C-alpha cells in the first residue's frame, strides 16, 4: 500500500469533499419543508436543464459502467461495445415516453412508475408487481456500485470490506438528510472529473503506446491467438444477433428502472425533458471512449489484480490498473476518485427510487392508506437506509460473480414492466389481467432461459452464467445466441395480448382509468395538478 500513498491521499481528499457537498446539499434550494416525497425524493420537482442533464447522466453512467464496459472489451472484444449503440438508440425511444410520463405524473402527483400503473389500469395488484419488480431489479444495481469502489481500492492495495462499509455509511447519512438534492449537487463534480479523466486518457495513453494503430493491432493479436469462438476485435456470425438484441433490449430496459424515472420526474417542465433527450447522447461519445480503455489495457500489457484464489484475475480492476500503470500518481488518484464518486451519485438515486417504491406502492397502499406527506418522507428515509445495508450485504455475503449475474437478471426483470409502464402511456387496450399474465409468463420464460446459460469454463458455473441464450435450446441448428430479456419480452407481449382477448371475451371487468387524454400533455403551471387518490378501485 505504501507505493500508493499519493493516490490514496488524493482519492480520500476528493471523496471527503464530495461527501461534505452531500451534507451541504440539504441547504441547497431548500424548501420551507423538506418532509415530503416531492421534496426529499424528487428535489421539489423543480430542476432545470443543466441540473437534470448532470443528474440523469450521473445516474445512468455509473461506476460499474466505468469499470465493467472496458473490462468486457478487454476480455471479449467487440461484444463489449454493445453499450455504445444502446445508448445511441435509447434517447429517440424515450423521447416518446418520458415527456408523457412527466406530464401525467405532474398532474396526478405520481412519484413512481407503479403509481402511474395503479391509476392507469385501476389495479393495485398490477401496481404491486411493477413495484416489486422495480425493487428486486434495483437492489443488485446498487450493490454493483460497490464493485467500482472495490476495484479502485484493490488497485491501491486496500483490502477488506471496512472501507466500503464506511463509504456507504457516509452515503447513507447524507442521502437521509438531503434526499435527491445530494446526488444532484454531487453529479456536477462526478461528471466533470470523469470527462477530464477520459479525455486525458484517450490523448495521453495512446501517445505513450505508439498510437491507435498499435493499440488495435495488439488487441487483434490477442484475440486471434487465444480468444474462444465469439470473442474478437470484430463481431462474427455467432454473436451478431446477441449484440443487436442486447443493445436493443438494454435500451428498452434502461428508462424502465425506477431510478431513471426519478431523475426525470424531478425536472420542472416538459422542455427540460426534451432538451435533455437531445443533449444526453454526448454521454454516448464518452462511453465509446471509456470502452476503448479495454483495448488500451491489452496494448499496455495491463494485468488485473489477482483474486484471493491466486489463480484468476479480477477483470473489474483492469481500468484502475491501467491508470496506475500509465498516469502519474497524483492524476491516478484523481482518476480513482472519479470512479469512486461515480458510484455515489447512482447509488443515492437508486436507493431513493427503491425507497419511494416501497413507500408509495406497499406502505401507503397496504399498510397506511391515509399516510401524511411527512409520514411518507420518514418511511422513505428509513427504507433508503435499509436498501443500502442490503446492498452492502450483497457484496459481503454473495460471490462477486453471482452479484454481477444478479444485475443481468435485473435487466430481464425490469423489461417485463414495459407493457404496463411504457405502452400504458399510449394505450389502455391491454386488460389488467392480461398484463399480469404477460408479466408472469415473461418472468418465467426469462428465468428458465437464464437457468440454461452456463458461465465461462473457468467459472465452472452451469446455470445463470450470463444473458446469451443459445438458439440451439429451441431446436435450431445454429451456434447463434440472443439476449434473454428480448425473448422474454416477446413472450410477455404475446401472452398479454392473448390474455386481454380472453378476459374481454369472458367479460371480466377491467379497472377504471383515473387519467384523461389531456393529462399526458400538461406542462409547468398547469392548474390540474393534484394529489393521486390511491384509495379507489381494487
Task: Specify the higher pLDDT residue, 459 or 303.
Answer: 303
Per the CB < 8 A criterion, the answer to whether 160 and 308 are in contact is no
Report the range of poorest mean pLDDT among 119-133, 157-171, 517-531.
517-531
Is the pLDDT assigned to residue 20 strictly greater than 50?
A: yes
DSSP letters of 409-457? HHHHHHHTTHHHHTGGGT---S-HHHHHHHHHHHHHHHHHHHHH----T
Cα dihedral across residues 41, 43, 49, 52: positive or negative: negative
Q: What pLDDT, on the 0 to 100 scale, is given for residue 533?
A: 39
pLDDT digits (tens, 9 = 90+) for 427-448: 999 999 999 999 999 999 999 9
In terms of Cα–Cα distance, which of 362, 372, 280 is closest to 112?
A: 362
Question: What share of the chain has pLDDT > 70, as a percent?
Answer: 92
Q: What pLDDT, on the 0 to 100 scale, is given for residue 56?
A: 83
Q: Where are the domains of the chain?
A: 2-418
pLDDT digits (tens, 9 = 90+) for 31-57: 667 788 888 888 888 888 888 888 887
Q: What is the DSSP letter of 362?
A: I
Cα–Cα distances in angstroms (integers) from residue 336 to residues 32, 157, 169, 199, in the given order: 38, 13, 19, 15
Question: What share of the chain has pLDDT > 90, as a percent?
Answer: 38
Average pLDDT value for residue range 402-410: 66
Domain 2-418 has CATH 1.20.1730.10: yes
Strand partners, 77: 232
pLDDT digits (tens, 9 = 90+) for 176-223: 888 888 888 898 888 889 889 999 999 999 999 999 999 999 999 998
Which cell is 505 given? Answer: 371475451
Q: What pLDDT, on the 0 to 100 scale, is given for residue 531?
A: 42
Average pLDDT value for residue range 145-170: 83
State the Cα–Cα distance between residues 339 and 359, nearest whole angstrom: 31
The counts of H helices and E strands in the chain are 20, 4
Which cell is 124 given? Answer: 393495485
Q: What pLDDT, on the 0 to 100 scale, is given for residue 131?
A: 95
Average pLDDT value for residue range 375-402: 81
Q: What pLDDT, on the 0 to 100 scale, is given for residue 2?
A: 56
For the chain, what's the residue count? 538
Q: What pLDDT, on the 0 to 100 scale, is given for residue 226?
A: 72
Report the range of poorest mean pLDDT among 169-173, 279-283, 310-314.
310-314
Average pLDDT for the chain: 86
Is the pLDDT assigned to residue 534 strictly greater than 50?
A: no
State the Cα–Cα distance between residues 394 and 382, nearest whole angstrom: 19
Average pLDDT value for residue range 520-526: 81
pLDDT digits (tens, 9 = 90+) for 299-335: 999 998 887 666 677 788 899 999 999 999 999 999 9
Which cell is 119 given? Answer: 391509476
Amino acid at each position: 500500500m505504501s507505493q500508493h500513498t499519493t493516490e490514496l491521499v488524493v482519492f480520500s481528499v476528493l471523496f471527503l469533499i464530495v461527501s461534505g457537498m452531500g451534507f451541504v446539499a440539504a441547504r441547497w434550494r431548500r424548501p420551507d419543508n423538506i418532509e415530503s416525497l416531492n421534496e426529499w425524493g424528487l428535489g421539489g420537482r423543480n430542476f432545470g436543464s443543466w441540473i437534470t442533464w448532470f443528474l440523469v447522466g450521473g445516474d445512468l453512467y455509473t461506476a460499474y459502467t466505468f469499470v465493467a464496459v472496458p473490462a468486457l472489451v478487454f476480455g471479449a472484444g467487440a461484444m463489449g461495445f454493445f453499450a455504445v449503440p444502446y445508448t445511441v438508440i435509447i434517447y429517440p425511444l424515450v423521447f416518446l415516453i418520458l415527456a408523457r410520463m412527466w406530464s401525467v405524473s405532474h398532474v396526478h402527483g405520481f412519484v413512481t412508475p407503479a403509481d402511474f400503473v395503479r391509476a392507469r389500469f385501476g389495479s393495485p395488484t398490477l401496481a404491486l408487481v411493477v413495484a416489486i419488480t422495480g425493487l428486486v431489479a434495483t437492489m443488485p444495481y446498487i450493490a454493483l456500485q460497490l464493485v467500482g469502489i472495490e476495484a479502485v481500492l484493490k488497485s491501491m492495495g486496500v483490502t477488506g470490506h471496512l472501507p466500503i462499509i464506511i463509504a456507504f455509511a457516509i452515503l447513507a447519512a447524507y442521502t437521509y438528510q438531503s434526499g435527491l438534492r445530494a446526488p444532484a449537487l454531487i453529479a456536477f463534480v462526478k461528471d466533470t472529473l470523469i470527462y477530464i479523466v477520459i479525455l486525458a486518457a484517450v490523448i495521453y495513453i495512446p501517445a505513450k503506446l505508439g498510437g491507435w494503430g498499435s493499440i488495435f493491432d495488439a488487441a487483434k493479436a490477442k484475440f486471434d491467438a487465444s480468444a474462444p469462438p465469439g470473442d474478437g476485435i470484430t463481431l462474427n456470425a455467432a454473436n451478431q444477433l446477441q449484440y443487436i438484441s442486447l443493445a436493443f433490449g438494454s435500451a428498452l430496459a434502461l428508462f424502465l428502472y425506477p431510478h431513471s424515472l426519478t431523475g426525470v420526474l424531478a425536472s420542472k417542465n416538459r422542455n427540460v425533458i426534451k432538451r435533455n433527450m437531445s443533449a444526453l447522447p454526448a454521454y454516448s461519445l464518452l462511453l465509446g471512449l471509456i470502452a476503448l480503455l479495454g483495448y488500451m489495457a491489452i496494448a499496455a500489457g495491463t494485468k488485473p489484480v489477482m483474486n484471493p484464489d491466486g489463480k484468476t484475475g479480477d477483470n473489474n480492476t483492469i481500468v484502475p490498473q491501467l491508470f496506475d500503470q500509465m498516469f502519474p500518481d497524483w492524476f491516478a488518484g484523481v482518476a480513482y476518485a472519479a470512479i469512486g464518486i461515480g458510484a455515489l451519485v447512482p447509488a443515492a438515486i437508486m436507493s431513493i427510487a427503491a425507497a419511494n417504491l416501497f413507500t408509495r406502492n406497499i406502505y401507503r397502499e397496504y399498510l397506511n392508506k391515509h399516510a401524511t406527506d411527512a409520514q411518507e418522507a420518514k418511511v422513505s428515509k428509513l427504507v433508503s437506509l435499509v436498501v443500502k445495508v442490503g446492498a452492502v450485504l450483497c457484496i459481503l455475503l454473495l460471490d462477486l460473480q453471482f452479484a454481477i449475474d444478479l444485475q443481468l437478471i435485473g435487466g430481464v426483470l425490469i423489461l417485463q414492466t414495459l407493457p404496463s409502464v411504457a405502452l400504458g402511456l399510449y394505450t389502455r387496450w391491454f386488460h389488467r389481467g392480461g398484463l399480469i399474465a404477460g408479466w408472469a409468463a415473461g418472468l418465467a420464460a426469462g428465468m428458465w432461459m437464464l437457468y440454461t446459460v452456463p458461465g465461462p469454463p473457468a467459472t465452472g458455473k452451469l446455470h445463470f452464467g450470463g444473458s446469451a441464450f443459445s438458439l440451439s435450446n429451441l431446436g435450431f441448428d445454429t451456434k447463434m445466441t440472443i439476449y434473454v430479456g428480448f425473448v422474454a419480452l416477446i413472450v410477455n407481449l404475446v401472452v398479454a395480448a392473448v390474455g386481454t382477448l380472453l378476459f374481454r371475451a369472458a367479460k371480466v371487468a377491467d379497472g377504471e382509468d383515473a387519467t384523461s387524454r389531456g393529462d399526458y400533455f400538461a406542462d409547468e403551471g398547469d392548474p390540474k395538478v393534484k394529489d393521486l387518490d390511491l384509495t379507489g378501485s381494487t
